[in-house]
Structure 1
Amino acid sequence: MSTMEAPANLSYREVLRDRRVAGLLLGDLLAGVGTGMIIVAMPIQTLAIHGSLPRAIAIGLVEAAPFVLSTVLALAIGLGRVRLPPRLLLIADCVLRSLTFATLGLLGITGRLTLPVLIGGLLVGAVFRMAAASSRRLLATELAGESGRFAANGLLGLNSSFALYIVGPVLGGVIATTTAPGYALLADAAGALVLLAAVIIFVPRSIRPPQPDPVDTVRPRSGWRILRRRPAAARLLVVVFFFNLLYMPIEIALPLLVRDRLAADPSALGLLWGALGVGALIGAALVNQLRRLPQRRLLIVIIALWALCPIALAFVGSLPLALVVFGLGGLVWAPFTPVAYSFLQSGLEPDEQQQVVTLWTTGSVVAAPLGLSLGGPLVEVAGVAGGLALSGALTLLLVPIAVLAVLRRGEPAGRG
């Protein structure tokens, strides 16, 4: 099947008529609220316990910690070294996450949380994080079927926009300001338990990776070997990696932007993420309307427009203007992930989905710890405005590279 050709796509409403899909997505939505709360609470908690370590470096280390061990496991799955059912991976992540974050939350509330303990807890507690993210997508798209795949990816984007970037950050900012950031960690632990219940109730045990041919049981096919059959998708993964890498300094700069230039309290950080979420919610709601557009070209346009967001943020001097800029950024950015994954999954056989989707998720998300590790020193040296402007400028430079990599002549483009 051409990577851009797909059967008639079901609407969001049609996909949600399946109670299994609706139940899993509801659990994902509620869990996302807790995760969205710690997007705001974690930097605030870090600023309270960073000690003599520079603020930007401390935030970068804390933000990068959840990606380290989870990248190792996800790479093992994506390269075909490990085969675990997506349902089992998601359950394991929910259990471990709830236990770890409950412990960190209690330590934070009682004033006994230190920076090394926080980093260590995030390292261990998030070991299944990346594999679980791809597993959640695999389970949702499998339940929705081939004709519902685009809608399922879009609905996952809606969940992230609403819970992860609107409700969660606003609640996290309020909680961190009025009580303590540790309560947000407890909320994330509770959200993991809600998702655990949804998986157990609504996802049947029969959903598992299709068994490979006997020859592949001796030497499992890696996601990269499969991707090489689709060079445009493989090169797009490289572009996505750098797109995410160049985004990461923004996450370090935002809490410092709020505290220093905007002179606002921690709740303003929640409002900023909420503004991104409102824009992203609108953008995600429109994803299904974009299904007939050339998807590779659409992704390149998104990269170019998003690059303007951090550049504009570098020059804002008031919270209302920052909210408008970040909201427009969310509107532009939201379609990127569902369109990219639908493009990727449309050309895969059933027994290729887990390796490739997990490898793709790993290849794109592994940019996070690298970007955060580099972003801390970058913001520390260039300052908040300089770090934001450099993030946007480098992303703009990525656009012609993306055009050359993804839209090469002589390759069948399909709808791309």
Structure 2
Amino acid sequence: MPLHLARLLRASPYRPVVSHPLLRRILPGLAVSALGDGMAVVAVTWLAIQLAPQGQRGLWIAVAVAAYTLPSAAGTVIFGRLLRGRSGAQLAGWDAILRAAALAAIPIAHLAGMLTIGLYLVLLAASALLHSWGSAGRFTLIAELLPQRHHLPANAVLTTISGFATIVGPPLAGILIGWAGPVWVIAVDAATFAVLALTYRLALPATGTIHSYERGASRTAGFAVIRRQPALLGLLVLSVAFFFLFGPVYVAMPLHVTDDLHASATLLGAYYTAFGAGGLVGGVVAGHLRHWPLRATTIGIVIGFGVAMLPLGLGMPIGLSLPAFALAGLIWAPYMSTSMALFQRSASTEQLPAVLAANGAVLVLAVPLGTMLGGPLVGAVGARPTLLLCAVAIVVLGLVAAGFSLARRDGTGSGATEVSARRRSGRRPAPAGRAPSPPAP
């Protein structure tokens, strides 16, 4: 290996992540599971089309997509008392087990001749119940295993794996659906979650520890922690508004391509591919932002994303709007990594699973609600003006967040300096109530 390449690899922010003796054991399982979920994005809707009554397919597709995601918000509260205080590996492992079992029941019911649209929706909903806890478990595991300086690169590894799967998974699903049918693609997804569950069980040391802080805590303790800490509350509000304002794009983009550009689905696919490719690059870049101020970077991502969306809303030629949409994907990708790193820094290890699960439960509602708004908004003003409104609103959101952040920093003075000094020293943040909270983004 050339000397300069060896030095580059040693200096990579990802080296401590992929070389960690425990994390490197579970990354292959995460990659396999992410690929299965990427395929399921197509298979879930395609099977709904086959099972739904004729003439009602649009309704049942929407319900199936909702059933595969939204129950995780209810699961955050329903299972809060049982799961709070468990280790990250336990939470992620139990989510994988439930997903594998519920999704495997779909092809089993199909073979038994019992699969109806109603049963299908019930099984999809059951598979999603622990999803917020599973996501919280993955990011909590990073906080448990790695020092703070490696959190952002580790978060970026997870988001990059997911981004790659969203590019490769759907076309692979299309091939498999044409060969065997959507129910067997869902069976493959179930098998990938079974692999992930075994990975967590065999690759990581078992622990049944429940932190004493969490015993007897309410089902909504994670929301209470967020409400008490301005840093976490500000970040949650920013994320919800950001995702909500992006929601109408899912409605406006197809109509913009067909009605305004008078183009085919091929161009729509090109836009989404460009966004996904940009997101893959952005996920890789995210790990190199570890020396940037996370709060300012997170807000800057919001502003930059809105600016990158402006060419679409302004009706610029495809030669400009298509690269701009790819740039928007690149800017969007690091947001989850930086926002998760802020949560990991602002909450104690004991509180982190409940806090991240609460955060996920709220965020999972933001994009669907925004998408629902997109229907009447496009009907009222048109597809391209809707894209423009979303872009401008996202830029304004980022500027408002920046203004609040500057005002809060000016108001905290020495408190902010104390937090910064504690972070530079490498000490882990203390539980809420024992130390000042970092400034809100």
Report the TM-score range of the alignment, normalised by the length of the smaller protein: 0.7 to 0.9
Alpha-carbon contact 2:274-2:325 (below 8 Å) kept: yes
> Which position in structure 1 is the counterpart of 2:173?
172
- Among 21, 24, 42, the residue aligned to 1:22: 24
How much has 1:126 moved relative to structure 2? 0.9
Secondary structure of the structure 2 residue equivalent to 1:67:
coil
Aligned to 2:99: 97
Residue 198 of structure 1 aligns with an amino acid whose one-letter code is T
Report matched runs for 1:273-288 at 5 Å.
273-288=272-287
Return the alpha-carbon distance in structure 2 between the equivalents of residues 222 and 148 of structure 1.
27
Match of 1:217 in 2: 215
Q: 1:22 to 1:50 in 2, by over 3 A?
A: farther
Partners of 1:70 and 1:130 within 8 A in 2: yes
Q: Does 1:63 find its partner at 2:65?
A: yes
Cα distance in 2 between the residues matched to 1:130 and 1:43: 21
Which residue identity does 1:94 align to in structure 2? A
Structure 1 residues 397 and 75: alpha-carbon distance in aligned structure 2, compared to 1, 3 A threshold = farther
The amino acid of 1:172's aligned partner reads A
The 5 A counterparts of 1:60-209 are: 60-75=62-77, 83=84, 85=86, 86-104=88-106, 116-163=118-165, 165-176=166-177, 180-206=181-207, 208-209=209-210
Letter in 1 for 2:102: T
Instruction: Tell whether the 8 Å contact from 2:149 to 2:290 is kept in structure 1 after alignment.
Output: no
Q: Tell me: CA distance 1:332–1:173, structure 2 relative to 1, closer, same or farther (3 Å).
A: farther
Written as runs of structure 1 = structure 2, the 5 A alignment for 1:2-17 is: 11-17=13-19
Deviations 1:135-156 (A, max 9, x none): 1221233223444322221211
Query: What's the offset of the Cα at 1:36?
Result: 1.3
Q: Distance in 1 between matches of 2:353 and 2:316?
A: 43
Does structure 1 retain, via aligned residues, the 8 Å contact 2:242–2:302? yes
Letter in 1 for 2:242: F
Amino acid at match of 1:342: A
Deviation at 1:199, TM superposition (A): 0.8
Deviations 1:32-84 (A, max 9, x none): 111112234444555664743484x6554333223332102214566x68526
Aligned to 1:4: none
Task: Give the CA deviation at 1:326.
Answer: 3.7
Q: Which amino acid aligns with 1:185?
A: I
Cα contact 1:107–1:182 (8 A) shared by 2 = no
Query: Contact 1:307–1:393 (CA<8 Å) still a contact in 2?
Result: yes
In the alignment, the residues of structure 1 paired with residue 416 and residue 107 of structure 2 have an alpha-carbon distance, to the nearest angstrom, of 49
CA contact (8 A) 1:313 1:322 kept: yes
For 1:316 and 1:50, how far apart are their aligned partners in 2?
41
Instruction: Report which stretch shifted further, 241-250 or 309-318.
Output: 309-318
Matched, 1:338 2:337: yes
Report if aligned partners of 1:46, 1:59 keep a CA contact under 8 Å in 2. yes
Distance 1:147-1:400 versus aligned 2 partners, 3 A rule: closer
Q: Counterpart amino acid of 1:38?
A: A
Q: Which stretch shows the higher mean deviation, 170-179 or 398-407? A: 170-179
CA distance in 2, matches of 1:43, 1:71: 21
Distance 1:128 1:317, change over 3 A: farther
Report the Cα offset of residue 389 of structure 1.
3.9
Structure with higher Rg: it is 2
Flag the 1:91–1:290 CA change in 2: closer, same or farther, 3 A: closer
Corresponding pairs, count: 399
Aligned residue number for residue 348 of structure 1: 347
1:54, 1:256 → 2: CA distance?
19
Distance, in Å, in 2 between the alignment partners of 1:115 and 1:362 is: 25
Q: Is the 8 A contact 1:304 1:399 kept in 2?
A: yes
* Contact in 2 for aligned 1:245/1:367 (Cα 8 Å): yes
Asked if the contact 2:136–2:354 (Cα under 8 Å) also holds between the matched residues in 1, the reply is no
**In structure 1, what is the equivalent of residue 35 of structure 2?**
33
Contact 2:49-2:57 at 8 Å conserved across structures: no
Separation in 2 of the partners of 1:323 and 1:44?
28
Counterpart code for 1:345: Q
Over the matched positions of the two proteins, sequence identity in percent amounts to: 28
Over 3 Å counting, the alpha-carbon distance change for 1:374 and 1:180 in structure 2 is farther
Contact 1:43 1:255 in 2 (8 A): no
User: Which amino acid letter does the alignment assign opposite residue 14 of structure 1?
Assistant: P
Partners in 2 of 1:298 and 1:39 — Cα distance?
Answer: 30
Q: 2:389 and 2:112 mapped to 1: Cα distance?
A: 39
Residue 340 to residue 151, structure 1, CA distance change in 2 (3 Å)? same
Q: Equivalents in 2 of 1:332, 1:211: separation in Å?
A: 40
1:231 corresponds in structure 2 to 230
**SS of residue in 2 equivalent to 1:351:** coil
Q: What are structure 2's unaligned runs of at least 5 residues?
A: 1-10, 421-440
Whether contact under 8 Å (1:60, 1:375) holds in the other structure is no
Q: Residue 425 of structure 2 aligns with which residue?
A: none
